[in-house]
A and B are shown apart, each in its own frame.
Chain A
């Protein structure tokens, strides 16, 4: 199973919105909604910020939202803040209870 494809980097100014894509091969995201997004700050363990495409765990800001269309899932961060500067990874269920992560995106707040 190959990793899902994400842009290597995305940047934005404080207050702006940015979107990170996560692209798989045909069928990677169909017919399930088991797409998650994780945030990772340097030297720290990843942190779950979205599950089931667009659901936020308790305590996660509503500035984070997700969507899925065809073979692409997306994470949107609105009202970008300095603390959002981190690496972001998508993940998806594949087949037979196995999973795959994305290649990761470095978000820079200008």
Chain B
């Protein structure tokens, strides 16, 4: 069955960077784009960006451009989301999700990774 397993919770200081991993299994890794979404405590979902494992193309939210980088290791079937120059407002649960076809139809989600930014 399709599974997306994310790395564990992180506690970071302001100004630091965090790298969250998302390991895929149960399907052909290069056949589906992976999207990243976050949710701050008590707030709505926020789209962050995507990577196409078939070629490595990426796109990012304008709100985070310059601070976010999404990469992948095809041999490890793993995608990574790195966010730099962390601020307290970046405290959130970060999710990776598989896009079934197009248009953000996210049919499988990771369990989420809590990133806490605090001094």
The number of chain A residues with a CB under 8 A from chain B is: 29
* A69–B102 CA distance with the chains assembled, in angstroms: 21
Kindly report which residue of chain B lies nearest to residue A40, judged by CB atoms: B45
* A91–B45 CA distance with the chains assembled, in angstroms: 9
* A-B interface contact total, Cβ < 8 Å: 73
Q: Which of A19-62 contact B (CB under 8 A)?
A: 32-36, 38, 40, 45-48, 51-52, 57
Kindly report which residue of chain A lies nearest to residue B63, judged by CB atoms: A1
Query: How big is chain B's contact interface, by range?
Result: 20 to 34
Distance from B7 Cβ to chain A, minimum over Cβ atoms (Å) = 15
Decide yes or no whether B28 CB sits under 8 A from chain A: no
Contact (Cβ within 8 A) B44 A102:
yes
* A46–B39 CA distance with the chains assembled, in angstroms: 10
Decide yes or no whether B59 CB sits under 8 A from chain A: yes
